[in-house]
Amino acid sequence: MLGYLNTIRGKLTILCLALLLIPSAIMAFVSYTQAKNSLNTLGETVLKNSVETSMQLLESVKRDFYAGNLTLEEAQEEVKTLLLGKQQADGKREITHPADLGETGYLYIVDSKGVLLMHPTREGESLWEEKDTDGEYFIRHVIEAAETGGFTKYYFALPFQTTVAQKVVYAKTDKDWGWTIAAGTYMQDFNAPAKNMLTTILLMLAIAVVIGIVVVSLVARHISSPLASLTKRVREVARGNLTVPLEDLQRRDEVGSLNRNFNEMVGHLKSLITEVEGAIVLIKDTSGNLSAVSEETTAYGDEIVRAITEVSARAEQQATDAESTQETAQQFTEQLNVLHDRNAVMYASSTEMKKSNEQGVQSLQALQVKSAETFTIIERMRTIFAQLTNKMQEIESIVGTISDISDQTNLLALNASIEAARAGEHGKGFAVVAEEVRKLADQTVTATDSVRTTLRGIAEEAAVVTNEMTNTYTIVQAQNQSVASTELAFEELEQAVTHILGAIDEVLTSVSTISESKEIMTAAIDSIAGMSEMNAAASEEVTASVEEQQNAIAIVTRSANELSDEIIALNEAIARFRIR
């Protein structure tokens, strides 16, 4: 089976069947879907028209009722009879309504609580608590949609079956009586003809496929048979058999063109192989002569290479020696440069040291001046603090006197208060004055105590300051001695730096002289190295040229040998083809 599918005949058959089946299947599906939708829409229209007609009939009967021609019970029964049929003794109604609502369709009436007021078999029962297969209270949805007139769809079991199908109901409510008139049926009652149409289309499609298979097989055979024959002949040519019989197909399509081109190809191959056989003989002779010449040229080249190799080795040795000498001179130059740089750094450092020494001397002199000024200031401060101590002692003596006076004043004020108390009313004014005097005496005592405390604190601080001034005096004397010693050290350092600068100048002069001699020596070494490198390069170029020539000769020799091998292989390949 797989072999058949890999042939052109099999592929054409599959392609044509696909082109036939796919559009036909799509058309069948689209037609079925459109027909089903159209029938469903038509069925819904029938349900709606039935309800609208029933509502008009209800309005007509209501007019008779309002005119007094019928009682309410008679009017309602007349509506039920006209819409569905007359009620029988068992409470059921036979469907006599002229409208075609499908095999399972019928009209029914419910009130707002879901009680069936009109039904073929269940009149008087309540549907309020009944559910559809999805668990929904379907009659409640029907009553809700009926408020404005609408459709309700739900899934429910078919009559006397367990099979579930979709059911559609159109309902509308009459506000006066509170009736909801509904028309319902299963969707399959409307779209059953669409299934019949689908069956017919599929049957026609099967017949078309059978006819297509027969036609496609014949057409594919007409195309594939010449190709199969041509394939066999091509296989023979691929095996080297050019004596295959050539067919002349009288066809103007691509198959005929392919056959004619194949015949021309076989003829050209025969001519080509004949020409190649003649060229092989000529190439064999030429290849042999080329190999002989290459061997002689290679021998001469080997002798030239040996001579050039000796010259090149000597030139390379000379260049190596010159290069080594040049490297030594370069190292010597680098050492001189380093020495020169270090001397320059030493000279600059010494000069900077000399400047720093001079600045140090100046700073030292300024320090001497400041130390002298500090010594004078400290002497002056010691004198001032001594005077301050004497003044504080005098103030303390005065404060003691004031304290004694305050005590006596306080005693006198107390005595005055006693005398004023003895005087009675006449001494009250004097007693007030005595009390004020006593208060002033107390305040004076308090103030003198505070002053005495402050003076004691100042005396203690003055003693500390005097002690520190004495220590500072001693330190300043030691500092003056250190400054004098430092001045002598700076003078000795200046003399040493002067000697160092002189020595560095002499070293710099010697290094400059050596550098001039070094430049002359380096120039001579560079000249020798350059000539050695030129000789070595020339030897290498000659050697390279000879080596390239030998390589070229080797390539020619190898190519000649390879050509001989290829000619042998080509001759063997040509021998596979049979042209006679």
Assign residue 121 the CATH number of its domain. Answer: 3.30.450.20
Judge whether 2 lies within some domain.
no
Question: Mean pLDDT over residues 228-238, rounded?
Answer: 76
Domain of residue 54, residue span: 34-194
Which helix (DSSP H) or strand (DSSP E) does residue 442 occupy? Answer: helix 428-575
Please write the tens of the pLDDT for every residue from 540-575: 775 776 677 667 667 867 776 777 777 777 777 766
Judge whether 173 lies within some domain.
yes
Q: Count of domains in the chain?
A: 2
Judge whether 246 lies within some domain.
no
Judge whether 528 lies within some domain.
yes
C-alpha span between 146 and 169 (Å, rounded):
10
Please write the tens of the pLDDT for every residue from 455-498: 788 878 877 877 877 887 788 777 777 767 777 776 776 777 68
* 155 and 300 inside one domain: no
Contact 72, 154 (CB under 8 A): no
Q: Tell which of 169, 194, 219 closes a domain.
A: 194
| pTM score of the predicted model | 0.38
C-alpha span between 535 and 556 (Å, rounded):
31
| Structure confidence at residue 117 as a pLDDT band (50, 70, 90) | very high
* 325 and 468 inside one domain: yes
Judge whether 271 lies within some domain.
no
* 333 and 476 inside one domain: yes
* 299 and 429 inside one domain: yes
Please write the tens of the pLDDT for every residue from 404-433: 887 888 888 788 778 778 877 767 777 787
CA of residue 37 relative to chain centroid, distance: 51
Percent of the residues in the chain that have a pLDDT greater than 70, as a whole number? 82
Residue 463 tokens read as 């003693």
Judge whether 25 lies within some domain.
no
Judge whether 259 lies within some domain.
no
Largest CA distance in the chain: 184
Owner of token pair 């027969």: 214
Report the CATH number that the domain containing residue 322 is assigned in CATH: 1.10.287.950
Q: Tell which of 167, 194, 221 closes a domain.
A: 194
What is the separation, in whole angstroms, between the first and last Cα of the chain?
Answer: 40
Other Cβ atoms closer than 10 A to 560: 20
Which helix (DSSP H) or strand (DSSP E) does residue 112 occupy? Answer: none
3-state DSSP call for residue 173? strand
pLDDT of residue 171: 96
Judge whether 18 lies within some domain.
no
The full DSSP string for 542-567 is HHHHHHHHHHHHHHHHHHHHHHHHHH
3-state DSSP call for residue 69? coil
Please write the tens of the pLDDT for every residue from 380-389: 877 887 787 7
C-alpha span between 317 and 324 (Å, rounded):
11
Q: Tell which of 194, 210, 240 closes a domain.
A: 194
